[in-house]
Amino acid sequence: MADEQENATNNEAAEQQFVIQKIYCKDVSFETPNSPKMFTEKWEPELKVDLHTAVNPLADNVFEVVLTVTVTVKVGEKTAFLAEVEQAGVFNVAGFEKQQLDSMLGSYCPNILFPYVREVISELVNKGGFPQLILQPVNFDSVYAQHVQQRQAEQEKAETSGSDAVH
């Protein structure tokens, strides 16, 4: 009996597959709307970082995951710079249950892409003439868990308001 369970586990693991086919920069934007005057201002920046992940199915078990990071830095009311990078990857992910697949595409793949985004943004900011900017690590597991909770709350709210309308 133990051998059967071990064989079933081994077969399941053998069927699971995760392959990075390609990692690439899909889109890059860097704007310095208040340059060169911004370089004469006292440098007391306010940093805002927005993250967004999108998943696009390409074929059976093949997905494009796009991590978009937008960094906006203001000094007072003026925008010093805005950097936006779409870092993408093509991943072959097979043999996982729906919940595991969603987690891999929503958390694991963005974790793989983030160091590339961080490097591109750091280089853009440096080449734009601004002080070095190194984005702090992101806990994509936590971000994904928050997204799942938010989605569940929205579904529950929609079901509740839908049942109220029936009465």
Q: Which domain holds residue 86?
A: 16-159
Query: Can you tell me the distance from the alpha carbon of 164 to that of 161, in angstroms, rounded to the nearest whole number?
Result: 5
Tens-place pLDDT, residues 37-83: 999 989 999 999 999 999 999 999 999 999 999 999 999 999 999 99
91, HSE (Cβ side, Cα atoms, 13 Å) = 24
pLDDT attached to residue 13:
56
Is residue 104 in some structural domain? yes
The sign of the dihedral angle between the CA atoms of 19, 54, 143, 87 is: positive
Is residue 5 in some structural domain? no
Better-predicted residue by pLDDT, 36 or 8: 36
Alpha-carbon distance values, 11 to 94, 95, 104, 130 (Å): 13, 10, 20, 53
Residue 28 belongs to domain with CATH number: 3.10.420.10
Cβ atoms of 54 and 14 within 8 Å: the answer is no
